[in-house]
Structures are given as C-alpha cells and as structure tokens.
Chain A
Amino acid sequence: MTDAVQQIDLHAGTVHGQQGAIMPAHWRDFWALTKPGVIRLVVFTGLCGLLAAPGTIHPVIGFVAILCIAMGAGGAAALNQYHESDLDALMKRTANRPIPAGRMDREAALQFGLALSGFSVVIMGLAVNWLAAGILAFSIFYYAVIYTVWLKPNTAQNIVIGGGAGAFPPVIGWAAVTGDVTMLPILLFSIIFFWTPPHFWALALFVKMDYARVGIPMMPNVAGEKSTRHQVFGYSLVLLATTLAPFALGLVGWTYGISALLLTGFFVLLAARVGFRVAGEGDTLKPEKQLFAYSIVYLFMIFTALVIDRAVVPVIAA
C-alpha cells in the first residue's frame, strides 16, 4: 500500500462500522461517501435537463445549479451509507465503503450528509430559484428517507418506486432555467423512472446472493428469477413507449426520435434475451451483465440525443 496511514491499522475499534473509527477519516473517504460514480450520471442527466430547457441561463448560475444537484446527490448518498452501514458490511460489493471498512465514524457520515444536503438546497434557492431548490430537497428526502429507510428494506418494489429518486435531476435542471415544470421534463423523469427497474434487476440477477444474505427484498429473491426476468422485459417495453412519447407529442425532433427508437430498440432486444432465458447452475449470466452495462451507456446516449436535438440542431439549422 502506498498510503502510509494504511501501513499501520489506525482504524481500530470498529466492528462493521458500528463503533466508529479512532482516526479522523481521510478526505478521500468523504469523497467516496458521496458515491462519485452515481453522481456522474446524476450530473449528466441534470445538465441535459438544463440544456434541453427553453430559454437561457447565465453560465455561472447554470454551473451553480449543476454543482448543487451534485452536492445534493452526494449528501443523499452519504445519508444512505450512514443508514445502511451494517448491511454494507455484510455484502462483498459494499464492504469496503468507508463506514463498514472502519475508516469513518457513522456520526461523521451523518453530519457530512446533512450539511451537504442542506447546503445544496440553500445555495440552489438563493442563487438559482426556489422551485429547483424545492425539487432538489424533495429528491434528497425521497432517496435518503422514502427509499433507503422505508422502501428498500420492506418491499420488493423498492427499486420501482425508489427509481423516482434518481429521476429528478433533469427536472431540477429544467426548473433551474425556466422556473417551471412542463410535459417534457416530466417525460424525462419517466424515462429514468422506467429505466431503473430493468437496470437494477439485471444487476440483482447476478448479485442476488449478496442481497439475500442481508435480507433486502430484491425482486429475484422475493418473486423468483422467472418473474423478475419477465418484468425486466415488460419494463423495457414501457421504456420504449416512454422514450418515444416526446417525439410522438411533437416536443422533440427527428434526431431524438430516430435515436430513441434505435437505442431503446436495442435495449428491448437485450432485455428480451434476459427475459426469456433460464440460467442453470454455473451460468456466467453474460446476457444479464451485458444488459446492465448497456443500460448505463444507454442512458448517457438517449440524453445526449435529446440535447443534440433540442440545443444543437436548432443552432445548426438557424
């Protein structure tokens, strides 16, 4: 290990993150607490909502709006990890997070999460507008309380309803520019909302033992693999209809329409492969892994197509 601090175990006294670390946490652990990988997607969809909105926003204020969305998402992620530290310690995928690994005190994570969340909402309200700040505050509450505390441990529909938490950023970005919420941002919300179940259940199909071990009622463990696979396919069809709706309603042009058809059509094909197969013992679950990987790329591409259609094509045409 290159970090001298790690050469001597300075995080002693921690049992699955419950007793708290003796050393003050490294700033890199606070960074890890914000789930930077998730923030990347949140920032991107928020930025796309902002760019797709009609009207203009000063670049500095636009930057602040995106920064606030990122800080809010980071704060919510910290609160999520504060609440789930005991479960995280039991799952291979999450055991090395700062709290379960014993590198950070739970209280420090709580304070950091609350401060970051509160700060993001107040700055958004003061610098941008209070509608965007209100939606941001609700999205943090939705993720940290409704999803993490209530839905996730209690229902197999946790991902379906909880998907709303990750769907707010484009709405916030839009509201930052226009100060209101119209049909298109609601459809953008719906795209992420209906994208979430096939995305997460593809993951859950190949890490279901992790979830089963800690008693989280993920769909494959509750309804069984067959039902989950059918639902993955079913939601992909709903996603297809949702992504085509902006074009059908005349809110976007051909660039988006054709892109949405091709990108989501491929998504449905991958989902069909997952939806109608039976995985035996020793199966490498390649189709599930491919769907999960493509679903991430897909979201980036569909929102890129939207921005090109709404912000780039009109400029070129003019």
Chain B
Amino acid sequence: MTDRPTPDFNDPEVLAQLRARQRSRALFMAGILIALCVMFYVITIVKIGVWG
C-alpha cells in the first residue's frame, strides 16, 4: 500500500498549483482544438481540389 496524505486544497500554495495545472491543461486543449480546426480547414480545401 502506498497511501499518501490528501493535499489541503485550502492551502493557498496547493490551490495555486491546482489552478496552474488547470490552466496548463486548458491551454493545451485550446492548442489541440485550434490545430484540429486548421487541419479540417486544410483537408477540406485539398478535398475540394483548390490545391489540385
């Protein structure tokens, strides 16, 4: 068993780390979504033959 103490989310330092984690995940997800939008756009342009 490797039980570890539960972090105290009332601790400002822990809370700040939680927020930093959430922010990095949100930014990463935004990056993925933007990349997908660009990819779908380019695929569509290629498929309709604009670029031959």
Contacts and interface: CB of A to CB of B under 8 A. Distances in A.
B25 A27 contact: yes
Main secondary structure of the interface of B (DSSP, over half): helix
Contact of B5 (A9, A24, A61, A102): A9
Interface residues of B, number: 24
B14 A8 contact: yes
Interface stretch (A11-19, A75-83, A148-156): A11-19
A55 to B, nearest CB: 15
Nearest to A58: B46
A15 B22 CA distance: 23
A5 B20 contact: yes
Contact of A12 (B6, B17, B28, B43): B6
B4 A13 contact: yes
A27 B46 CA distance: 31
A126 B22 CA distance: 33
Contacts of B5: 9, 12
Interface in A33-84: 58, 60-61, 64, 67
B43 A61 contact: yes
Contacts, number: 63
B17 A8 contact: yes
A316 interface: no
Nearest to B8: A8
A26 B17 CA distance: 11
Contacts of B13: 8
Contacts of B14: 8, 10
B39 interface: yes
17 contacts: A4-B17, A4-B20, A8-B7, A9-B5, A9-B7, A10-B17, A10-B18, A11-B4, A12-B5, A13-B4, A15-B2, A15-B3, A24-B21, A24-B25, A26-B25, A61-B43, A64-B39
Instruction: Enumerate the 7 nearest inter-chain pairs by beta-carbon distance, A residue then B residue, closest first.
Output: A27-B28, A12-B4, A12-B6, A60-B46, A127-B43, A10-B7, A5-B17
